[in-house]
Amino acid sequence: MNFFMIILLLLVTIPAWATTYQAEQGDVLRVPAPIQGNNLHVQAFNKSWPIYKKDGQYIAWIGIHLKTKPATYHIQWTSGNAASVSQALDKVEVQKGKFRISHITVEKKMSSFDKEAIQRIRADQAAIKKAYKTPVNIHNSWPAMTWPVKGIISTPFAAQRYVNGNARSPHSGLDIAAPTGTPVKAPLAGKVLLVANMFLNGTLVAIGHGDGITTVYAHLNKVLVKPGDILQQGDVFAEVGSTGRSTGPHLHWGVHFEGAKVNPKNMLISNNIQ
Ligand SMILES: [Zn+2]
């Protein structure tokens, strides 16, 4: 042990009960607080994460971004004030996700976009990014979601497609196949942030749920709400469709959590109620 390591151990006192959690890219961890006290705060991946109280226990929700490099990361807990601070350190070992890989071959003209299309795609992405960053003054006491529609998952989260040998961006959400006109329900209370018509995504809605949680719905047939509208869990706000670049009616559902793209399934109350 070198001198530097000794100093480091003196500065950071690691409690004996520190826990190591296992996670995959795209997971959402629920981590019980190892310490109590006022001003309880948790940090991981250089961000703060929301803490909720359930059955008398404080539990942090931490999103593991799809693109997090497999490695071990710290979860730092603090509570108290300047006069008396409590600290604890948990760890999370992030593994590479086991995601679907597929290869397709298409005619060259079908695999690329013209200049105008690329400009539209960029503007669309900027609008979605802006929605992700919009603070929403809503607080769900336990942000477990319900399915927005029920159907077959036609493309799983993070599926990786290669078109003519070139990797496309991994699939940023879940595709749920359902007939055109199927009602789409808010999976959690929230505020409508964006209603737009986009080149690839077709008719799209973004909803902010507070605590850095935003959900996105694409390829919609019809939208029944406007930006600013407040929704309760289960409220119908749109219809499934096949607008934009889509090969058949389905709902593309994405979840963004404090900047992390996570698998929507990992935000559900139960992921086997499909
Ligand atoms: Zn999709």
- Tell whether 111 and 41 lie within a shared domain: no
3-state SS of the chain? CCHHHHHHHHHCCCCCCCCEEEEECCCEEEEECCCCCCCCEEEECCEECCEEEECCEEEEEEECCCCCCCEEEEEEEEEEECCEEEEEEEEEEEECCCCCEEEECCCHHHHCCCHHHHHHHHHHHHHHHHHHCCCCCCCCCCCCECCCCCCEEEECCCCEEEECCEECCCCCCEEEECCCCCEEECCCCEEEEEEEEECCCEEEEEEECCCCEEEEEEEEEEECCCCCCEECCCCEEEEEECCCCCCCCEEEEEEEECCEEECHHHHECCCCCC
For residue range 147-171, list pLDDT tens digits in order: 999 999 999 999 998 988 888 889 9
Residue 254 CA, ligand 1 centroid: distance in Å: 8
Indicate the pTM of the whole model. 0.90
Mean pLDDT across the chain:
91
Residue 152 CA, ligand 1 centroid: distance in Å: 13
Note residues around ion ligand 1 (Cβ under 5 angstroms): 175, 252
For residue range 64-106, list pLDDT tens digits in order: 999 999 999 999 999 998 888 999 999 999 999 999 998 888 8
Residue 170 CA, ligand 1 centroid: distance in Å: 10
Asked whether residue 274 is assigned to any structural domain, the reply reads: no
Confidence class for position 121, pLDDT limits 50, 70, 90: very high
The domain that holds 139 is classified in CATH as 2.70.70.10
| pLDDT > 90 in the chain, percent | 79
Range from 69-78, 106-115, 224-233 carrying the lowest mean pLDDT: 106-115
For residue range 131-149, list pLDDT tens digits in order: 999 999 999 999 999 999 9
Choose the final residue of a domain: 95, 118, 144: 95
For residue 214, the enclosing domain spans 101-267
- Tell whether 91 and 109 lie within a shared domain: no
